[in-house]
Chains A and B, each alone.
Chain A
Amino acid sequence: MSCTVRIASPLRSYTGGAASVSASGASVAELLADLDRSYPGIRFRMIDEQDSIRPHIRVYAGTREIHDITERMDGENVLHLICALSGG
C-alpha cells in the first residue's frame, strides 16, 4: 500500500527539502523502512535502537497517534512525522 508521508521540517534535509514523499507498507514499521531505503538515515532520527519512537517525535496515521511502529495503517493513507521545534 502506497502512502503519503508528511515530513517534519527538521527532517527535510533527508528528503531534499520535500515536505511530502511516498512510501509503501501496510504498517508504520514497513513504511519507515521503505522511507529509509529512499532517504538513508531518516529512520534513525525518529526511531531508536529498540524500535521505539524517540521522545521528541510524534507519529500519526491520519489523526490517529501511533505509539508502536508495528501498528498498521488501517486504511489511513497519510503518515505524519512531527518533530519538536525550538525556534522562537
Chain B
Amino acid sequence: MALSDTEIERYSRHLLLPEVGPAGQEKLRAARVLVVGAGGLGSPAALYLAASGIGTLGVVDCDRVDLSNLQRQILYGTDDVDRPKATVAARRLRELNSEIAVVTHALELRAQNVASIVGQYDVVVDGTDRLATRYLVNDACVILGKPLSSAAIHRFEGQAMTYVPGRGPCYRCLFPDASAAAVASCAQAGVLGVLPGVLGAIQATEAVKLVLGAGELLVGRLLTYDALEMRFHEFPFQRRPDCAACGDAPSITAPADAAAACEDDTPVLRRLSPRELVTLLRDVERGGPPVRLIDVREPAEFSAGHLAGAESIPLAELERADWASPGQGATVFMCRSGARSARACAIATRHGLREAAHLEGGLIAWAAAIDPTLRVA
C-alpha cells in the first residue's frame, strides 16, 4: 500500500534520502521491531524507531518507573513514577507517532516465553540491564534466525554490536560466558545519563538499516564508546566455530534460563518468592532454624531501605571474601531486582554454602507483594 499524504509529510526528510525513499519507508512501515528493556538504552532506541515509522514496535519490560530512572530513561516523566514501564512507554510512543502500532510485553523474558515473543518480530534491539537476559535474547535470535542489535553500558563506557544470521558472529562469539564476571549494573556502578542516549540511538540506527538493507552494519565489529574521553574504538571479532550458540555444533539448541545458560557450574540456584521468604521468616520467629539475610546492594542503596535483620555485604566484597568457612544454615541473598542476588547465590553455592537462596525479583518484588512502605533505592 502506498504511503498516505500524512505519511508523505511526516517522513518527508526520509523520502529525500535515496537510501530510504518511498520504497524504504514502506519497508519500515511493514517492519516489526522488538525492543527488549525500556530503560536507558531502550528509551532512545524506541523513540527513534517510532519516529522513523517502524510499523509495529514491541516493548518488553516488566518493571515500574522509578524516580532514579528519569536521569536517563527519557520515555518517562516525573508523573510516571511507579507506573508500569511498558504501559507508559506505549502511550508515549503512540503520542510520538500515531501511525504505528505498539505492542507491550509486560513480562520478564524467560526460556519458556522468549521464542514465542522474539518469533513475532523481524529485528530485535536488546537494551536489557541483565547479562542473563542478554544471553537469552542472543540465543533466541540465533535459534530463530533473527537479526539483533545489542548494546550495554557502564559508567561512561558503552559497547554495541550487531548480529545477522549467517553473516557474522553473535554475542556469545564476542563474550562466550560472562557468568564469572563481577559486572556491575547501573544501579551499582552509576551511569552518565546521556550515555545510553548515544548507544540507544546507535541501536535504532542499526535496526533501521537492517530493515532497509542499507549501509554497513556492526557485524563482526565491536564498537566501544568512552564518553569521558569522547573516543570511539572499533574492534573486529569473528564467529567462533566452537560457539555454543552459532558454532558448527551448537550446544544451545533451545533458549535456557540463567541458571543453566549462564551459571552452568552452579549446582542449584534456589529462588524464593517474597511470600516464601515471609513463610521462612515466620518459621524463624516460631523457633525454627535461623536464617541469615544478606543484602548485596551497594551501601548507599542499603542505607535507603532494607529488610529488618539484613546484613550489608556488597556483591563486590562477596566476590573477594574468604570462603574458607562458608558457614552453615540457610542464607538468603537479596538485591534490588534479583540479578545481583542470583550471582551472589551462585558464588556462595560454589564455595560450599549448602543452603543458599536468593529473593526472586528482589526488594522491588518484596515492596510490591509484602511491604509497600519499603524504600528501594
Contact = CB atoms under 8 A, between A and B. Distances in A.
Given A55-B175, A84-B175, 14 more contacts: A9-B155, A10-B184, A19-B228, A19-B229, A45-B182, A55-B176, A55-B180, A56-B175, A58-B222, A80-B235, A85-B154, A87-B184, A87-B189, A88-B41
Contact of A88 (B153, B177, B182, B235): B153
B189 A58 contact: no
B181 A82 contact: no
Contact of B129 (A57, A82, A87): A87
A87 B73 CA distance: 13
Give the most central of B39, B157, B158, B222: most A CB within 10 Å: B157
B186 A55 contact: no
Given A8-B157, A55-B178, A88-B37, A83 B226 contact: no
Interface of B: 37, 39-42, 126-131, 134, 151-159, 174-178, 180-186, 189, 191, 196, 222, 224, 226, 228-229, 233-237, 339
A87 B175 contact: no
A85 B157 contact: yes
21 contacts: A9-B154, A56-B177, A56-B183, A58-B175, A65-B237, A80-B233, A83-B183, A84-B152, A84-B183, A86-B129, A86-B131, A86-B178, A86-B184, A87-B129, A87-B153, A87-B154, A87-B191, A88-B37, A88-B40, A88-B127, A88-B128
A61 to B, nearest CB: 11
A54 B152 contact: no
A63 interface: yes
A65 B235 contact: yes
Interface in A46-88: 54-58, 60, 63, 65, 80, 82-88
A47 to B, nearest CB: 12
A63 B236 contact: yes
B185 A56 contact: no
A10 B185 CA distance: 10
Nearest to A62: B235
Nearest to B238: A65
B42 A83 contact: no
Nearest to A59: B235
Q: Which of A9, A55, A82 has the most CB of B within 10 A?
A: A9
B178 A10 contact: no
Nearest to B195: A87
A65 B176 contact: no
Contact of B235 (A19, A45, A56, A58): A58
Nearest to A78: B233
A88 B222 contact: no
Contact of A58 (B37, B126, B174, B234): B174
A80 B231 CA distance: 13
A85 B183 contact: yes
Most interface-central of A54, A82, A87 (chain B CB within 10 A): A87
A72 B232 CA distance: 25
